[in-house]
Amino acid sequence: RSSFSTLTKALAGELDASNIESAVFVCCSRVDALNHARVLRWELAVKLNRGCAVGGGSSTAKLVNESELFVVLLTQQLLLDANALFEVWMAMQQNLPIVTVMVSGAGYDYAEASAVYEDLPSQRPETAAELQQMLPDGVSVGTVGRMLHGNLTAIIALSWSPLASQNHLAALVDDITSRIKRRKNSSVSKVEMKRNRRFQEGAQRSNSAPPVQIPSDSVEATDDTAYVQAAAQDTVIGGDIDMRI
């Protein structure tokens, strides 16, 4: 795989037209935030040295499924973009961590968004009708709207001004990518906790297990006998732990 950090600006322009892979999926309204999303995707790809994706096209579902993190650009037109709302729903179905980014000057209003998500069919009927066509049977727009309300309104958004300096953009990218690292570290910690718990459970079982009884009329209780008893108990403990790891 070619390093993103070594790509020329010309190659960057070619890359911008397609999604190679999706470490981070950037969701946006195609009407007022597509260019912003492409800039952010490029910066994330350089930082991670991996491909990142912007929504759209037949491979969107696959790219969302492959992503480790899902970024939503909050702009006014997001509330009218059925494709973008569908992508957010897919991310929620995959239990992806979601990062919201408020694009300064793009007209996103939290109070308005909260009201729209809470009752999408009546607040945005055309968008709701378009979104319903994308959803699988048995999933209603009203349910999706309430899911959006419960998730997007509860997340503290990062702030991004596209007109600000490169340092501002770099800080945003650092904040987003650090969440991937924290998630990986958290996953490792959970695995270690489960492993330690299994060892502890195995040790508790061994302590409560009855000692191996050796008939007194067949073998005299000697130091060798005690060794056999200990070895028998160790076999039980070891077998239990090996099977559970």
Q: Does residue 146 lie within any of the structural domains? A: yes
Q: Does residue 12 lie within any of the structural domains? A: no
pLDDT value at residue 154:
86
Long-range pairs for 195-201: beta carbons < 8 A, 24 or more residues apart: 195/245, 198/241, 198/244, 198/245, 199/241, 201/244
Sheet holding 69-74, edge to edge: 53-54, 24-27, 69-74, 98-103, 158-160
Q: Does residue 10 lie within any of the structural domains? A: no
Over residues 44-85, the pLDDT tens digits come to 999 999 999 998 777 889 999 999 999 999 999 999 999 999
Q: Does residue 1 lie within any of the structural domains? A: no
Q: Does residue 37 lie within any of the structural domains? A: yes
Q: Does residue 163 lie within any of the structural domains? A: yes
Q: Does residue 52 lie within any of the structural domains? A: yes
Spell out, as residue ranges, where the chain has pLDDT lower than 50. 1-17, 187-191, 214, 216, 218-245
- Residue 28 sits in a domain whose CATH number is 3.40.50.10140
Q: What is the pTM of this model?
A: 0.69
Query: For the chain, what is the domain count?
Result: 1
Q: Does residue 214 lie within any of the structural domains? A: no
Show the domain range for 175.
Answer: 20-185
